[in-house]
Structure 1
Amino acid sequence: MPTNISYEINNKKPEDKKLFIRKMFDSIVPTYDLLNHVLSFGTDILWRKNIFRHTKKIKGKTVIDICCGTGDLSLILYNKGSKVVSLDFSLNMLEKGVTKNALRGHPVSADACWMPFKSNSFALATIAFGIRNIPDIDNFIQDVFRILAPGGELAILELVRPENRIIGKIHYYYLGAMLPLIGGIISGRKLAYQYLAKTINTFIDQSELKTMLKKYGFKNVAFYPQTLGVATIIVCEKEML
């Protein structure tokens, strides 16, 4: 793993950054699920379920879970009766998802910016804790818009910076000190968790993301803050023809 975290955060070369991120996620697969639950105090499980309080019914629909990881969100989609495509560029993540029986639909290894699907294919696209790790968000938004059917929805779950100043200070300390420490002890990959913490602090703010989504055609962009504002669910829609 590279040791210059600041360089990787500021790296403007998408292909170089994708390679770094793929290797990083491949390296943390054995403890990925455990750390997601430990570091979020179990709230990540609730956040994923909360997505469906704000989306249309998906039973019988074809949906895609982008940056699916080991498949926790894909499994929820499957259990709701949808036909699920689970996409990630980390083969190690996909293999773990298959092994734990979470990816029960169609796992696909591909780049989230260039998805190998026909236009207007999906009723819902989800992405949990993935968008801030995509080097070219513009390309991602354009491509997910392309593959969604008219009236289809994009649902994003992401960790964000809380707007409350006091909570924000506590959160900043937790990200800078505790998350890399705990993540490093459990996974043996402290640098990976330093990087992941910094991506939260350097990711575009919610108003910028809303502007980008609207720029590429999404309508009805709505934000639903979770647990003191440390995470948010964003739901938006591709307009009907």
Structure 2
Amino acid sequence: MKERLKRDYAPVKDLKADDHIRIVQDIFATVTGKYDFLNHLLSFRRDVAWRRFAARKMHFPRTRRYLDVATGTADLALEVASRYPDVEVTGVDFVLEMLEKAVIKTARRKECRDRVSFVQGDALALPFADRSFDVVGIAFGIRNIPDRPGALREFSRVLIEGGQVAILEMQLPQQKVLQFLCSFYLRRILPRMARCFTRNPAAYLYLADSIIQFPAPERFAGMMRDVGFSNVRHYPLTLGITRLYVGTKPDGALPPEKQPGHFPEKNPDRDSS
């Protein structure tokens, strides 16, 4: 019997946590072969510039170690390894098929492959000791984690005091006209384009829905502050269809409620290549 070429996924807002996790595993296990190609095609290759921007914002003061959560096929992990020649990079993901692709891709990068390693693991129970990394990053993965505060607390646990979290995520722009155009692209155009290249085009309906349902910028930044991150900033990229959220783990000198809060960024760096 021929495998169905289309699967149906419930709307993100209706999913229970366990179902959400199962669906994410199913989706990323089935789109691995064309994942990189489709990311570049469907973002008009802006995803490359977004990752470069995120890597430029990172600082490695002590451990010289970076953790890439939901590393997927390791694009952000390899960007960081290439930009910082003395930094050790670890990628973690719970989808084995993605990690297998990441290992193959990394093996081709002679300049950094000896400093990049991968571990299969859960963002809510990272297999690392407390205070192990200078920076924890995640690109386009936080929206696929049902318990986002739990993940943020786990990121904080493995960071050094004064360490940095960097979260790159797609979401709807704030302007109404751009919201309409972006929603139309995500719901109508993206899945049809994906249908030409993947055996599971419904995966891109889910991914579009997960972008549309992601919290507004100040709401997500507030979530970061609520779990204890200070100096939380967010940078709109490409008309706000993607944002980089950056926060700092307090050094313990002050309780979280007295740590500095959000500082608006008047002139954010451009997301140029």
Taking structure 2 as the reference length, what is the TM-score of the superposition?
0.83
Label 1:75 to 1:58 Cα distance change in 2 as closer, same or farther (>3 A). Answer: farther
User: Conserved in 1, the CA contact under 8 Å of 2:70 and 2:139?
Assistant: yes
Q: Distance in 1 between matches of 2:76 and 2:32?
A: 16
Q: Give the number of aligned pairs.
A: 239
Q: Deviation per CA, 1:67-90: give whole Å up to 9, x if none.
A: 000011111121212101100001
Counterparts of residues 127-146 of structure 1 (less than 5 Å): 127-146=138-157
Task: Report sequence identity in percent.
Answer: 34
User: Conserved in 2, the CA contact under 8 Å of 1:70 and 1:93?
Assistant: yes
Per the TM alignment, residue 11 of structure 1 is displaced from its structure 2 partner at its CA by 1.2
Counterparts of residues 158-197 of structure 1 (less than 5 Å): 158-197=169-208
What residue is the counterpart of 1:62 in the other structure? 65
Q: Distance in 2 between matches of 1:9 and 1:186?
A: 27
Per the TM alignment, residue 55 of structure 1 is displaced from its structure 2 partner at its CA by 2.6
- Superposed CA RMSD: 1.7
What residue is the counterpart of 1:90 in the other structure? 95
Q: Distance in 2 between matches of 1:50 and 1:161?
A: 19
User: Which of 85, 88, 100 is the equivalent residue of 2:105?
Assistant: 100
User: Conserved in 1, the CA contact under 8 Å of 2:9 and 2:206?
Assistant: no
What residue is the counterpart of 1:3 in the other structure? 8
User: Conserved in 2, the CA contact under 8 Å of 1:9 and 1:195?
Assistant: no
What residue is the counterpart of 2:23 in the other structure? 20
Q: Deviation per CA, 1:129-167: give whole Å up to 9, x if none.
A: 000000111210111111111010000110011011222
What residue is the counterpart of 2:54 in the other structure? 51
Per the TM alignment, residue 2 of structure 1 is displaced from its structure 2 partner at its CA by 4.8
- Are residues 1:153 and 2:158 paired? no
Give unpaired runs (5+ residues) of structure 2: 1-5, 253-273
What residue is the counterpart of 1:40 in the other structure? 43
Q: Distance in 2 between matches of 1:198 and 1:100?
A: 29
User: Conserved in 2, the CA contact under 8 Å of 1:162 and 1:229?
Assistant: yes
The one-letter code of the counterpart of 1:230 is I
Per the TM alignment, residue 5 of structure 1 is displaced from its structure 2 partner at its CA by 2.7
Q: Distance in 1 between matches of 2:60 and 2:150?
A: 27
Per the TM alignment, residue 54 of structure 1 is displaced from its structure 2 partner at its CA by 2.4
Q: Distance in 1 between matches of 2:233 and 2:149?
A: 19
User: Conserved in 1, the CA contact under 8 Å of 2:60 and 2:134?
Assistant: no
> What secondary structure, in the 3-state scheme, does the structure 1 residue paired with 2:196 have?
helix
Structure 1 or 2: more helix by fraction: 1
> What secondary structure, in the 3-state scheme, does the structure 1 residue paired with 2:235 have?
strand
User: Conserved in 2, the CA contact under 8 Å of 1:122 and 1:149?
Assistant: yes
User: Conserved in 1, the CA contact under 8 Å of 2:90 and 2:119?
Assistant: yes
User: Which of 193, 213, 221 is the equivalent residue of 1:202?
Assistant: 213
The one-letter code of the counterpart of 2:15 is N
Give unpaired runs (5+ residues) of structure 1: none
Taking structure 1 as the reference length, what is the TM-score of the superposition?
0.94
Considering only CA atoms, is the larger Rg found in Structure 1 or Structure 2? 2
Label 1:57 to 1:4 Cα distance change in 2 as closer, same or farther (>3 A). Answer: closer
Per the TM alignment, residue 116 of structure 1 is displaced from its structure 2 partner at its CA by 1.0
- Are residues 1:75 and 2:86 paired? no
Label 1:64 to 1:236 Cα distance change in 2 as closer, same or farther (>3 A). Answer: same
